Structure 1
């Protein structure tokens, strides 16, 4: 069963543009991963330091593989000081 994930990432004040670029850099390699059906980055219109990824994965196991992929781990190490908060929501489509 497919897994939908919404990831909400909030930047530390003053780090919005650097974090935006770092998040954009994740899109191409993630879309090339096995099981990635959709991986779209959005920015909140009213809060420019708030970013959301809307993701659809073939399975939770493949999403978990993504979360331990080298480019994700490198991103987390490089941007830790830029991120104020992360909230992950795992969901199942019902209609």
Structure 2
């Protein structure tokens, strides 16, 4: 099975930036403990502090599926749903 890389772009509404950042950091802590997690990093844009990129690598598609069912992931999505201006998630496989 192939490693799955996830790149997620999360843009917080200006007034919710601190809250979204706090929730993202909680998500990172929980996600890094998962058996199938290779790495789970949160980056904040240097020019637009409302923009965050999640860079994740998972052992396989099953590990990513299990991640989406964890209480910390489900809780994160519920907590921030009204606080985001944008969310896009790209699941990718290395080809070279």
Q: Same fold by TM (over 0.5)?
A: yes
RMSD in angstroms over aligned alpha carbons? 0.9
Aligned to 1:4: 5
Counterpart check, 1:38 vs 2:39: yes
Q: How is 1:6-85 mapped onto 2 (pairs within 5 angstroms)? A: 6-85=7-86
Q: Which ranges of structure 2 fall in alignment gaps of 5 or more residues?
A: none
Q: Which ranges of structure 1 fall in alignment gaps of 5 or more residues?
A: none
**In 1, distance between residues paired with 2:69 and 2:95?**
28
Aligned to 2:94: 93
SS of the equivalent of 1:10 reads strand
TM-score normalized by the length of structure 1: 0.94
Name segments (4+ residues, structure 1) moved above 4 Å. Answer: none
How many residues end up aligned between the 2 structures? 95
